[in-house]
Every structure is written in structure tokens, then in C-alpha cells.
Amino acid sequence: MSSVQDAINGFPVTAAGRFLSTLLTFGAIVAGIAVAFVVGELTGLQRIDVTQTFPPAYDLWVLIIFVAAAVMAIGITEQTTWKLLLPTAAVGVAGYLVLLGCGRLRIGDRFAPAIAAVVIGLLARVVALRMGAPQLVVAVPAALILLPGLTIFRSMYVLTVEESEILAGAGGMLSAGAIVLGTAGGIVLGDVLARPLTRSLASNERRRARRR
């Protein structure tokens, strides 16, 4: 998300550096999954059927609690201040509800996360300025629930283990990449849309920065 934001805002060098860092991390994850599955097969463990899907097993209110807890856990991992945890969780829940609404409207698995990301980006800017924090500090933990983690995992598995289905794995990775870029672009778009609504908050933030 930071890479896309830098690229859109006209900082290509830092954007390229962050993209490279992301690709290196991504390659390490792919290698780790491949090694784990190879070791598992050598030790006789049963092969995992990653194509198996399950219907929703929880009520909506339970899912909302899980989403809020996950967002706060991500915020703690990224060393967010304690006062931002609950507001960030609220922004994440709002984005998740928008995602569910888009799913009910059958907007599409690729477009729905982008719409939810716009809402998250807009709300994150308002919350962040009110709490005296950068927008991405709130937006990134709140938006991570939109990322296609299961799709990425399945595609990695197919690419590294199921050689006969390598084209399906590549297609899955392209689809996941489109969702990730759409989510990142939606965060930036939400931030831009919120700027006219937060001019007074932004000016207050600049005054606090000058006093420091």
C-alpha cells in the first residue's frame, strides 16, 4: 500500500524500493511453503487439499468480533499506539461490512475489495487526523482483512507443488495481485476523497507539528 501511494503521489524511487522489498518477502514466503510441503511429503504426512472450501460457519456478529480482534492484533504487531486500536478496529469493521454488502450485490471478487478499501481509506484519514496519526497507521491494519490470503496460499501451493496445474496457479496469483493493487489504490483514493472533508483537521495537525 505504501508503494502504490508513493507511486501515485510522484515518488517513483521509494515506490520501486518498496516494491522490491515486497517481492523479496513474497519470494521468501513461496520458498518457505515449498520447503514445508516437500518436508511433509518426505516424512509421510498426508497431502493437504487446498482447493477444498467451506461454507460460512459463524453468524455475522461473531465475524464482526473476529474482524475487530484481528485488526487490533495487526495493529499491535505494527506497534500502533493503544489509543488507536479501537478506532482502527472500527474502521476495519466498517470496511468489512462494505465488503459483505458488495458481495451481496454480486459486484465481483476483484472489485468489491477495492470499493471497501476506498471506504477504509476515507475513514482512516478522518480518524487518523483526529487522533494525531498518519493515515496509513490506521488504514493498513484495517485493510489487511481485504487481502486475498487464501487465494495467494492456494496459488503458491499449486505453483510450487502441483506442477501439472501451474497455469491455474499463475492465474490465481494474477487475480490476487489485481486484488492487492486494487485495495492499495482504493486506500489512496479514499485518502484523496477525504481531504476536502478534513481540511480543518489537517490544518490543526500542521499547527501541532510546527509546535513540536
- pLDDT digit string (tens) for 13-46? 888 888 888 888 877 877 787 788 778 778 877 7
Q: Look at the chain and report how many structural domains it folds into.
A: 1
For residue 98, the enclosing domain spans 52-211
Residue at 8 is within a domain: no
Residue at 57 is within a domain: yes
pLDDT of residue 48: 66
Residue 151 grid cell:
487465494
Residue at 138 is within a domain: yes
Residue at 28 is within a domain: no
Percent of the chain with pLDDT over 70: 85
Residue at 171 is within a domain: yes
pLDDT of residue 107: 84
Percent of the chain with pLDDT over 90: 22
Residue at 178 is within a domain: yes
Confidence of residue 50 (pLDDT cuts 50, 70, 90): low
Residue at 27 is within a domain: no
Contact assessment for residue 128 and residue 134, using Cβ atoms and an 8 Å cutoff: yes
pLDDT of residue 211: 47
Long-range contacts of 203-208 (CB under 8 A, 24+ apart): 204/129, 205/129, 205/132, 208/132
Using CA of residue 187, residue 193, residue 194, residue 196, what is the dihedral sign? positive
Confidence of residue 109 (pLDDT cuts 50, 70, 90): confident
Residue at 88 is within a domain: yes
